[in-house]
Amino acid sequence: MKSLLVSSLAVCFFLSSFGYFPSRAKANTFGVIQPKYESSFFAEISNLEQGEDVSINFQLHTNGDLFQEADWITLVFPEVYELPDFKEEHFTFDTYSALSVEKTENNNVRIQLPITFVSNLSFSLEENAELKNPISEEQFSFTIFIEKQEKFYESETIQLIIPKNTVDVIIDENNSVNEFGWFSEKPQISFNSRKAENIYYSIDGNEYILFSGEKVQIQEGVHILSYFGRRTTGLKEKVEVKKWKIDPYPPTCTNIIPKNKVWINTLEVKIKFEIESISPTSIKILEKIFSVKDGESEITVSLKPGKNLIEYTVLNEAGYSLTDTLTYFVDVTAPVLKLFSPTKDQLVCGYSVSVIGKAEPACILEVNGIVVEMDNYGNFNTVINPEEGENTILVSCTDRAGNVSKIVNSYMYYSGIVLEVNLKKQKVYVNHELVEVNPFPFRDSKNGEIYLPIRFVAESLSYELLWDAKQNAAILKKENISIYVRPNDSVVKIVEGDTVTEHDIYYPPTVIDGNIMIPIEFTKKILGAEITYKKESDTVYIAFCK
């Protein structure tokens, strides 16, 4: 309906301009609109760009219409066209020029036919007529009017386009792009154009710059170059956009996990690479290619026990590469660990508990979660302070590969009474409290045995100390037990109720300044003490459990 209305208005306008009817009110009484299935009219413009010099080929197809030589046709141009002065030679009918050409008002041109045509009327407006496309984005169509038959035909709608981009980007001859579209060096570029008077460019969406003729340096990274030319007509060409990818640097491995030259305890390891590169990268390892995403790649590699050498190459799309070797030592065997004290279900008394054992050298040894030092052979001896009653000790050994051995023992601990004799500093403690002892304990210069005053031992252990003149013996008495000690006699008699037993000790008691001195052996063999000696401080610990 809209097409019909436009066509009717065009006829009215044309006929009015030539006097076919005196007013628009009579428009519908003249002219015949040809349906598309009966006829067709084409106007083919040589160049649809705005502002360009053009030639136009007109073709009218009808069902048997006769066009006589010397008949007149009127070609109605859209109002957007500004017509030059046409001449006969500007219009060609199958190599014949028009008989006559008249330019009229309202963008009309009357053309007198040179020959007779049947059904098909074909003619061209040559480019030398200096007709330019309008600078307009409106759609339009041409109309041809056959005056003698009083018929008109309207062409299909034509849409002009923004002028094409005629700018060429010229790259410095020293630079080239590889198969992935990356430059491995920073390129310098310049521009030229076949039609544009001025050239403008913009990088990464910044303000457009007028190209001055000096080369433009493109920096590393991914950049968007936009550019266009401006014609002498003032028309702006279509903007062209190109992506520039420049990476002039080799890739770098900023971090690798596990680190190089470490020990691990698995035959399969996931190696994580963190890569820095402007262009996309991949990793070649063990003859396989792995992709790198967001600067990271995790690759699973099979290993063997012992030393493993793994060569890898990082390649980026700019053509650079980095090759290096990773060394991993594999140990899947748990380390050696032995615990000599305290043993399972052992009864321990004293100030503290000595943890004694042997582990694989260079492993990390922990006793109840605390790191303990070892000597070069793996021996360890440390002291812990447990609580009264049942305790659990956990000893673990972790080797450099991460293998772990553990020993867990339960034991009973009682603090009891501890006599601490420091011969080097000449000090004696009972349960950490400093006491005066006279005479002071001493070490026999001949046999090396340590002697203690019997009174000091009796008082520390709450024994009653008596003297039996008849038997020339000191008596240690507690409840129903009596222990008889004779100076210079290695036989000790114990009376418990009605039971009498005798025990031999290696070193007999002696007398110093009227005081009986008992050997330290006596405290262990007769009184049941636990004896510990520390050579570095020359200190002996005598522990009595409850």
CATH number at residue 23: 2.60.40
Assess whether 455 and 512 both reside in one domain.
yes
Rounded Cα distance between 431 and 323, Å, is 67
Rounded to whole angstroms, how far apart are CA atoms 20 and 147? 10
Question: Do 85 and 185 sit in the same domain of this protein?
Answer: no
Asked if residue 258 and residue 242 are part of one domain, the reply reads no
Secondary structure (3-state) at 521: helix
Does one domain contain both 134 and 46? Answer: yes
* Positions of the chain with pLDDT lower than 70, given as ranges: 1-38, 546
Q: b/e map of 329-366 (b: 16 or more CB within 10 Å)?
A: ebbeebbebebeebeeeeebbbbbbbbebbbbeebbbb
360 vs 335: CA distance, rounded Å: 6
Domain boundary among 246, 277, 296: 246
Query: d(Cα 242, Cα 43) in Å, to the nearest integer?
Result: 35
Specify whether 154 is located in the same domain as 213. Answer: no
Question: What are the tokens at 338?
Answer: 């032995």
Closest C-alpha among 36, 68, 62, 72 to residue 120: 62
DSSP state of 350: S
Longest Cα pair distance anywhere in the chain, in angstroms? 176
pTM of this structure: 0.58
**Residue 86 forms beta bridges with which residues?**
none
Do 25 and 144 reside in the same domain of the chain?
yes
Domain carrying residue 405:
337-414
- Which pair of structure tokens corresponds to residue 279? 């262009």
Number of separate domains in the chain: 5
Query: Do 6 and 153 have their domain in common?
Result: yes
Q: Which helix (H) or strand (E) holds 4?
A: helix 2-18
Rounded distance between C-alpha atoms, residue 416 and residue 544, angstroms = 5
Q: Are 36 and 152 in the same domain?
A: yes
Tell me: do 24 and 131 sit in the same domain. Answer: yes
Which of residues 414, 435, 465 is at a domain's end?
A: 414
Last residue of a domain, one of 246, 268, 296: 246
Supply the pLDDT for residue 237.
Answer: 94
pLDDT recorded at residue 191: 97
In CATH, what number is assigned to the domain containing residue 376? 2.60.40.10
**Three-state SS at 9:** helix
Predicted local distance difference test score (pLDDT) of residue 17: 39
Q: In this predicted structure, what is the pLDDT of residue 442?
A: 95
Q: How far apart are CA 93 and CA 123, in angstroms?
A: 4
State which amino acid sits at residue 137: E
Are both 295 and 365 inside the same structural domain?
A: no
For residues 274 and 297, give the distance between their C-alpha atoms in angstroms, rounded to a whole number.
Answer: 7
How do strand 306-316 and strand 296-302 relate by DSSP bridges?
unpaired
Task: Compute the C-alpha angle 5/7/9, nearest 5°.
Answer: 70
Same domain for 102 and 6, yes or no, is yes
Q: Is the dihedral of CA 208, 214, 219, 222 positive or negative?
A: positive
Does residue 38 share a domain with residue 108? yes
Classify each residue of 452-481 as buried b or exposed e, where b means 16 or more C-beta atoms within 10 Å of its C-beta. Answer: bbbbbbbebbebeeeeeeeeebbbbeeeee
Give the contacts of 175 (CB within 8 A, at least 6 positions apart).
183, 185, 186, 187, 188
CB 55 within 8 A of CB 141: no
CA atoms of 526 and 496, how far apart (whole Å)? 13
Backbone angles phi, psi at 4, to 5 degrees: -65, -40
Round to whole Å and give the CA distance between 137 and 80. 10
Q: Which helix (H) or strand (E) holds 475?
A: strand 473-478
Dihedral angle, C-alpha 460, 463, 468, 469, nearest 10 ° = 20
